[in-house]
């Protein structure tokens, strides 16, 4: 799936995205400032959380409540190696049946099973976001 959108169309994009997800683990990739956290904020809200969503850049992981579970939102930009991820307890999070939304996932991809959706976001010359979903 590939969608081109402006930021003011994010609700439509997230609704379409949710309908096409195959898992509760999303690897969200894109360069700095492309809109990864903006997408995740809308996604968390549309999944039913009433919690305030913020970037976990310094906390590494934020937890949001749902009526029927939790959402774990990771920003692994500041993680330097797999040992740091293990020290964070990444395996416990990954083995849970809750939603896992992971920004900057490259470092931990080797320890993931194949049960995830991969989202990439780019910005084109006209300043449109291009979201690609690979399930």
pLDDT of residue 65: 97
User: Residue 79 is encoded by which pair of tokens?
Assistant: 């993680």
This prediction has a pTM of 0.94
Q: Is pLDDT above 90 for 97?
A: yes
Name the CATH superfamily for 2-134. P-loop containing nucleotide triphosphate hydrolases (3.40.50.300)
If residue 92 lies in a helix (H) or strand (E), which one and from where to where?
A: helix 90-94
For 57-81, the pLDDT digits (tens) are 889 999 999 999 999 999 999 999 9
For 122-134, the pLDDT digits (tens) are 999 999 999 999 9
For 10-40, the pLDDT digits (tens) are 999 999 999 999 999 999 999 999 999 999 9
Partnered with residue 73 across adjacent β-strands are: 62, 101
């Amino acid at each position: 799936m590939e969608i081109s959108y402006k930021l003011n169309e994010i609700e439509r994009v997230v609704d379409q995205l949710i309908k096409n997800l195959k898992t509760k683990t999303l690897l969200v990739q894109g360069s700095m400032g492309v809109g990864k956290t903006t997408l995740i904020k809308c996604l968390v809200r549309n999944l039913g959380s009433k919690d305030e969503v913020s970037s976990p850049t310094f906390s590494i992981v934020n937890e949001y409540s749902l009526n029927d579970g939790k959402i774990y939102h990771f920003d692994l930009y500041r993680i330097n190696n797999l040992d740091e991820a293990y020290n964070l307890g990444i395996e416990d999070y990954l083995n849970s049946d809750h939603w896992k939304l992971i920004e900057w996932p490259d470092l931990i991809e080797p320890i993931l099973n194949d049960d995830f959706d991969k989202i990439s976001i780019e910005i084109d010359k006209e300043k449109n976001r291009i979201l690609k979903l690979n399930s």
